[in-house]
């Protein structure tokens, strides 16, 4: 005879909110909904597989009033666009070296292109993990250009002194 499985206690729903390390209010930390975390993760996954298309769509349509989502989608967008620019630089270098010989062009540019692609992929995956945790992840400035801005400019005088006029 089989025993009945133990009756579970009260079922608590999964975490509905995750804390963000963004300064979005006087408390210092904002609440992030699961939908924002999911969209941020989709932005990173789309960046890995489709380039800047998915992060750009999410950035343009969904991130206006959601600072957590805006932060992560701009990181994914900046990383992929920067990666594409690095790829373009590798193509230009390959074209210049191709004037000498095909072997030299391939021996020099293929390892550089693979190393750059793996580096960008590494930071996209780290950003994906941080987005799933509801945290922010800073990408080093040497690997990622700030093409799309993630923070709205604050009016002068609210959070610090105004910059002097020249």
Would you say residue 78 lies in a domain? yes
Would you say residue 4 lies in a domain? no
Would you say residue 140 lies in a domain? no
pLDDT value of residue 82: 93
Between 51-55, 120-124, 155-159, the lowest mean confidence (pLDDT) is in 155-159
pTM equals: 0.68
Of 17, 134, 140, 150, the residue nearest 73 (C-alpha)? 150
pLDDT in tens, 12-28: 343 333 344 444 443 43
pLDDT in tens, 127-152: 999 999 988 888 888 888 888 877 65
Instruction: Report DSSP letters for 85-140, one per residue.
Output: HHHHHHHHHHHHHHTT-HHHHHHHHHHHHHHHHHHHHHHHHHHHHHHHHT---PPP
Would you say residue 81 lies in a domain? yes
The domain of 92 spans: 17-133
CA distance 144 to 81: 9
Is 18 strand, coil or helix?
A: strand
CA atoms within 13 A on the CB side of 65: 0
- How many domains does the chain divide into? 1
- Residue indicated by tokens 């009260």: 10
pLDDT higher at 63 or 56: 56
Alpha-carbon radius of gyration of the chain: 22
pLDDT value of residue 63: 74
Angle, CA 21 vertex, CA 82 and CA 125 arms, to 5°? 40
Would you say residue 156 lies in a domain? no
Would you say residue 126 lies in a domain? yes
- C-alpha to C-alpha distances, 132 to 21, 37, 48, 149, nearest whole angstrom: 13, 6, 15, 21
pLDDT in tens, 104-120: 999 999 999 999 999 99
Would you say residue 144 lies in a domain? no
Answer whether residue 161 shows pLDDT above 50.
Answer: no
Would you say residue 157 lies in a domain? no
Of 16, 59, 52, 24, the residue nearest 136 (C-alpha)? 24
């Amino acid at each position: 005879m089989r025993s009945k499985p133990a009756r579970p206690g009260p079922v608590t729903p999964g975490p509905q909110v995750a804390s963000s390390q963004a300064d979005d209010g006087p408390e210092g930390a904002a609440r992030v909904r699961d939908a924002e975390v999911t969209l941020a993760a989709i932005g990173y996954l789309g960046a890995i597989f489709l380039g800047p298309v998915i992060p750009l769509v999410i950035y343009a349509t969904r991130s206006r009033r959601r600072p957590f989502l805006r932060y992560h989608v701009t990181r994914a967008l900046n990383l992929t666009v920067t990666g594409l620019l690095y790829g373009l630089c590798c193509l230009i270098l390959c074209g210049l070296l191709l004037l000498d010989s095909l072997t030299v062009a391939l021996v020099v540019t293929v390892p550089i292109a693979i190393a750059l692609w793996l580096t960008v992929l590494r930071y996209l995956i780290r950003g994906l993990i941080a987005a799933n945790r509801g945290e922010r992840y800073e990408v080093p400035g040497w690997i990622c250009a700030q093409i799309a801005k993630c923070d709205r400019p604050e009016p002068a005088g609210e959070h610090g002194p105004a910059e002097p006029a020249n």
